[in-house]
Structure 1
Amino acid sequence: MQLQLISFLLIILHFMDYTGCQQHSSSRHRQHKLMSGGSSGCQQGGCLTCSDYNGCLSCRPRFFMHLERIGMKQIGVCLTSCPLGFYGTRSPERNTCTKCRLECDSCFNKNFCTRCRSGFYLHLGRCLESCPEGLVRSDAQRECVPSCPAECESCANSETCAQCRPGLYQLSGRCHHVCPDDYEPSDKLMECVAQVHCEVGEWGEWSPCSRSGRTCGFKRGQEIRTRQVLQYPSPFGKPCPEISEVKECLVKRRKCPGRKKIERKERRNRNNRKDKENPEGRRERKRERERERDAGERDDPDNTNKTEHRQRRGHETEPVSTDDGLVQ
């Protein structure tokens, strides 16, 4: 009986020793996996130790430990910088990413926000639901801004000027010292208005060859063509190009009909202009015209006959005195 009891105790001790050995071997194996980084969850370069279930357990120097949620599970990842909505804290033991305050979209630390989430407005590093006195909310910037921009005389809201201060030009609710490209200042409206550039049409046909307004009596002349201005430029717009062109031309010389009459008329006009300037010349011109008329009458037989007829009629009608003193 005693021998059976001793044998049973030896069997139990042997089994316990075997179990402890297996556990020690398994523990050493797990430790080896964690330190060596052989796990599939330790593939990224920032991990120092990791596990299949929890990802990174520690990070290499200068990396931040960040916990990412996947469903109901959180795994550790090692990052060079913390993601949006978190800020990094460094310590000798480990560097970690800490979540910003609830009202912050991004932050520098737990007490200093750099951007607020919707419905809050940034002021001196804090996210506020309402801005302090003298400031208004800017939905675009999510910040508390001055009630009216400094360059505005009056404004519709914190970002739109209704009227600029003297010397500034308004464009799309903003005030400018110098208007942007493609705009020019209007001193009458005190606004930046769009520049208008010159526009011209197509060239017309070349004119007939002429000289001094004549189309005959010459061999060398000029031809002209023009085009219309469709849109005149504004003061700072692109100016108009040339709207007329001239080129030399050659024609077969021919006499102008009635040219002598034209020349006499031109000479008479020149003489009249001289007469106005010189009274003596005017009298000389008059005598010259009388001589030309008399010469013309001598050359024209009809005029000669008319002159003789007038002279005869003058003699016939001249009164004759008789001895009695009567007029017949």
Structure 2
Amino acid sequence: HQLFSPGSAVVSRLCHAGCLTCSALNGCLSCKPRLFFHLEHDGMWERGTCLLSCPRGHYGTRSPHVNTCTKCREDCVSCFNRNFCTHCHQGHYLYRGRCEDSCPEGLTPNAALRECNDCPVGCEVCVTRNTCTRCRAGLYLLHGQCHHTCPGGFEPDGQLMECISQVHCKVGEWGDWDLCFRRGRTRGYRKFEEVRRREVLRHPTLYGDPCPKVKEWRKCVIKRRPSPGRSDGKGIRPTEH
């Protein structure tokens, strides 16, 4: 193996992979063909490395003699070249290759993608130019679009500010009539009533069709007649009609 002093430049198998020449103090000094030369900070020192592609926050420049990695502008997370950002830091929005504090009029800042989007009409926040996720005040969201009024089959939800499906009431079949029970008296007869009920199977939304009545009353009459074994007419029992 070839040994070298800290400041010497050598071509050796002791160099890191990709290095054409290197030193113990500064790492790679030159790279093999097609690789990018990149300086990494190591405390107070800078050490050269040779990479297939430049790390995030840097862009690659090729030339006949050397390929180098250059740091993007401070407001860019990543870039295509010094004058064209491809991704911005938190709180900045990408617009035509630049990272801006705010978006131009007519465009909406997308906090998730950190870019300015051409949102649908009435949209406050969108993920694409055709898909809104939050509408401006007074508008309702439905299928990525904003509406002043909800279309047929939908109704506004004032808390979510969305158009939700309209639900109408649904009830089951009537049950059997209950037994008669007394509600009043007349001579020789007593007035009775009986009731039947049905169950609500699905409750309506605010603007859906309301439920019809679920309890129904009707009159029934029970006639008084003598009880068996009595001939004086004082013993009576009711008979339902």
TM range (shorter): 0.5 to 0.7
Query: What is the CA–CA distance in structure 2 between the aligned matches of 1:32 and 1:54, rounded to whole Å?
Result: 10
User: What residue is the counterpart of 2:62 in the other structure?
Assistant: 90
Shift of 1:47: 1.2
User: What residue is the counterpart of 2:89 in the other structure?
Assistant: 117
TM-score, normalised with respect to structure 1: 0.40
Cα gap change, 1:194 to 1:77, in 2 (>3 Å): farther
Q: Given the alignment, which residue of 175, 178, 183 partners 2:145?
A: 175
Cα gap change, 1:32 to 1:175, in 2 (>3 Å): same
Q: Secondary structure at the match of 1:92?
A: coil
Larger Rg: 1
Query: What is the CA–CA distance in structure 1 between the aligned matches of 2:108 and 2:9, rounded to whole Å?
Result: 58
Q: Secondary structure at the match of 1:35?
A: coil
User: What residue is the counterpart of 1:57 in the other structure?
Assistant: 29
User: What residue is the counterpart of 2:98 in the other structure?
Assistant: 126
Shift of 1:119: 2.9
Q: Deviations over 1:185-228 (max 9, x none)?
A: 97132735499xxxxxxxxxxxxxxxxxxxxxxxxxxxxxxxxx
Cα gap change, 1:37 to 1:155, in 2 (>3 Å): same
Q: Alignment identity in percent?
A: 47
User: What residue is the counterpart of 2:39 in the other structure?
Assistant: 67
5+ residue gaps, structure 1? 1-27, 177-184, 196-228, 235-328
Shift of 1:127: 1.3
Q: Given the alignment, which residue of 160, 171, 174 partners 2:134?
A: 160
Query: What is the CA–CA distance in structure 1 between the aligned matches of 2:27 and 2:63, rounded to whole Å?
Result: 21
What is the aligned-residue RMSD (CA, Å)? 3.8
Shift of 1:75: 0.3
Query: What is the CA–CA distance in structure 2 between the aligned matches of 1:110 and 1:144, rounded to whole Å?
Result: 20
5+ residue gaps, structure 2? 127-132, 157-162, 168-198, 205-241
User: What residue is the counterpart of 2:51 in the other structure?
Assistant: 79
Cα gap change, 1:46 to 1:29, in 2 (>3 Å): closer
Query: What is the CA–CA distance in structure 2 between the aligned matches of 1:29 and 1:99, rounded to whole Å?
Result: 31
User: What residue is the counterpart of 1:189 in the other structure?
Assistant: 155
Query: What is the CA–CA distance in structure 1 between the aligned matches of 2:142 and 2:91, rounded to whole Å?
Result: 31
Query: 4+ residue stretches of structure 1 with deviation over 3 A?
Result: 28-33, 155-159, 190-195, 229-234
Is the Cα–Cα contact under 8 Å of residues 37 and 49 in structure 1 kept in the other structure? no
Q: Deviations over 1:73-94 (max 9, x none)?
A: 1101111111110000001111
Query: What is the CA–CA distance in structure 2 between the aligned matches of 1:140 and 1:98, rounded to whole Å?
Result: 27
Structure scoring higher RCO (CA < 8 A, sep ≥ 6) equals 2
Q: How many positions carry a matched residue from both structures?
A: 156
